[in-house]
Chains A and B, each alone.
Chain A
């Protein structure tokens, strides 16, 4: 059967995935992305850009910054020089990469060396204008033995599709703390793809906040290429209204003796929908793999819905792998205990939700970043 292309598909010049495809069963892009988003250069008002840059949860964190406004590098606002990134090295067959390419993504190439004392923040700003597609792709390399903190922030206003691709390569013994905050416009669609490779002994601490966009889909691919590497991948969703967030991760153990942990904490209000699809692959010979994943959802309303799909594909026999998923509402005993000490119900709930979500921030080394995320969560709770 030939299905006629939607306006969005015509504009992008490709077919969008739909719910009859296994990876997309909860996120039917063909149905959910309706507007014909195309690349369209616009001129931003500087006051709008200033306001949006300041709205980054990390605005108060001292960092070296690279600022992209409506998908273009804004050198005047950037304190760190970067070279434009070249064509993607990753295979093209993934639809999220195809979209990124169709929208003619621009981006930065960075090589991080030594022990950077300041975090690097790449700020992505989209201003309110005609509905359009905005795309970036970045390539980050952390040199052997280097350590760095990388922050990616996405903020915006209006109706747009944001395609965000990041490729990260960690050298031998390198350490990267990567923090991504998706705080797109409440009318935006955020489609992200991150690919991270870890060489021998590399350490990755990866955290993603999903909280802004109407529709958020992010695919992550983490590949262990050298022994004794260690990746902790965590995330938090703070969703309300009719927001929809779907994360699909693949953690690929191709070599022995690597450790992976995935922890996602999801707080959902209103009629929001959260999905976590986590897959761990242990290739033949990848013995002594230690891989665990868990996702926990806190449903703050009757109409919120969370779906988890953990998958393990194991082709080695000497491994420790596991997964767990829970969803439920706040613990009534906890709530009563706090209230019995004089904390009013709303405040007690906020305290418990913040504690629940905060577990996902725990692995973040940078205190200022952790505090900024805590403050963001508190603000979200106060607004709900």
Chain B
């Protein structure tokens, strides 16, 4: 079965007439990693938000099918329970909610929604600890409120830890490389690569090719002015790095 099928998707902001996505079509099969590259303002983040169900966007035309069901009919938490995970470009700080508690509530809410047994506290501790160690996320960080006072690198590592803990089927990574130095980028990319599997798909949204040296995609798509204007293999990313987006935007970069 196809993991994700986006067909002629048109999206505008709910309180503005301006269209941001103008007929985007994309098919992702299980196990595939697709990179979506594009200049600022091309609609990359909008795509990630529409997939995760953020309010403020209106789909005016087209469809999004996830594992055979109409994704757009689901609430954000239902989408997460169905296996969709968005790694935020700017992870949100939640004062007063400890990271560990947050992870436990989220994981068990998803399991409950899927009709699975909730994890016990010891099972959960083991589940998190194994994954945290691989991502250099300390116990101290897990005790702190979600993302509060985390550095840019810590926030991104925490996002990938959430992904590892929740074990989604479709990961959408929105500019996961932004704000990371090369060492942090390597840790994050290793965390993402460890999650690659024949059953799990990824949509990696990025402005720069750099991330794709570490997370090597199967397909690369160029998003410009709300549409995918070119698709190719991983070499397309290198070509973009060299020539810029000018060819696709009709403007000099």
List the interface of chain A (C-beta within 8 A of B): 332-334, 336-345, 347-348, 351-352, 354-356, 358-359
Instruction: Indicate if the CB atoms of A342 and B166 lie closer than 8 Å.
Output: yes
Is B228 on the interface with A (CB-CB < 8 A)?
no
| A334/B92 contact (C-beta < 8 A), A339-B75, A342-B80 known | yes
B252, chain A: closest CB distance, angstroms: 35
Query: A336 is contacted by which of B76, B105, B110, B162 (Cβ under 8 Å)?
Result: B76
Q: How far is the CA of A356 from the CA of B96 in the complex (A)?
A: 7
* Smallest CB gap from A336: residue in B: B54
Q: List 9 A-B contacts (CB under 8 A).
A: A336-B76, A336-B92, A337-B88, A337-B146, A341-B77, A343-B77, A347-B105, A351-B97, A355-B96
Q: How far is the CA of A42 from the CA of B212 in the complex (A)?
A: 79
Is B52 on the interface with A (CB-CB < 8 A)?
yes
User: Which residues, 46 to 88 on B, are CB-close (under 8 Å) to A?
Assistant: 52-55, 75-77, 79-81, 85-86, 88
Instruction: Indicate if the CB atoms of A340 and B86 lie closer than 8 Å.
Output: yes
A341, chain B: closest CB distance, angstroms: 4
Is B240 on the interface with A (CB-CB < 8 A)?
no
Instruction: Indicate if the CB atoms of A345 and B77 lie closer than 8 Å.
Output: yes
Is B94 on the interface with A (CB-CB < 8 A)?
yes
* Cross-chain pair count, CB within 8 angstroms: 76
Instruction: Indicate if the CB atoms of A341 and B54 lie closer than 8 Å.
Output: no
Interface hub of A332, A341, A343 (most chain B Cβ within 10 A):
A341
Chain A residues within an 8 Å CB radius of B80 = 339-342
List the interface of chain B (C-beta within 8 A of A): 52-55, 75-77, 79-81, 85-86, 88, 91-92, 94-97, 102, 105-107, 109-110, 113, 145-146, 162, 166
A181, chain B: closest CB distance, angstroms: 20
Instruction: Indicate if the CB atoms of A343 and B96 lie closer than 8 Å.
Output: no
* Smallest CB gap from B86: residue in A: A340
Q: How far is the CA of A312 from the CA of B77 in the complex (A)?
A: 46
* Smallest CB gap from B101: residue in A: A351
Instruction: Indicate if the CB atoms of B55 and A336 lie closer than 8 Å.
Output: yes
* Smallest CB gap from B56: residue in A: A332
Chain B residues within an 8 Å CB radius of A345 = 75, 77
* Smallest CB gap from A357: residue in B: B96
Chain A residues within an 8 Å CB radius of B81 = 342
B246, chain A: closest CB distance, angstroms: 34
* Smallest CB gap from B113: residue in A: A342
Q: How far is the CA of A355 from the CA of B105 in the complex (A)?
A: 14
Q: How far is the CA of A26 from the CA of B145 in the complex (A)?
A: 36
Instruction: Indicate if the CB atoms of A352 and B94 lie closer than 8 Å.
Output: yes
Q: How far is the CA of A347 from the CA of B92 in the complex (A)?
A: 18
Chain B residues within an 8 Å CB radius of A348 = 77
Q: How far is the CA of A345 from the CA of B75 in the complex (A)?
A: 9
Chain B residues within an 8 Å CB radius of A337 = 88, 91-92, 94, 146
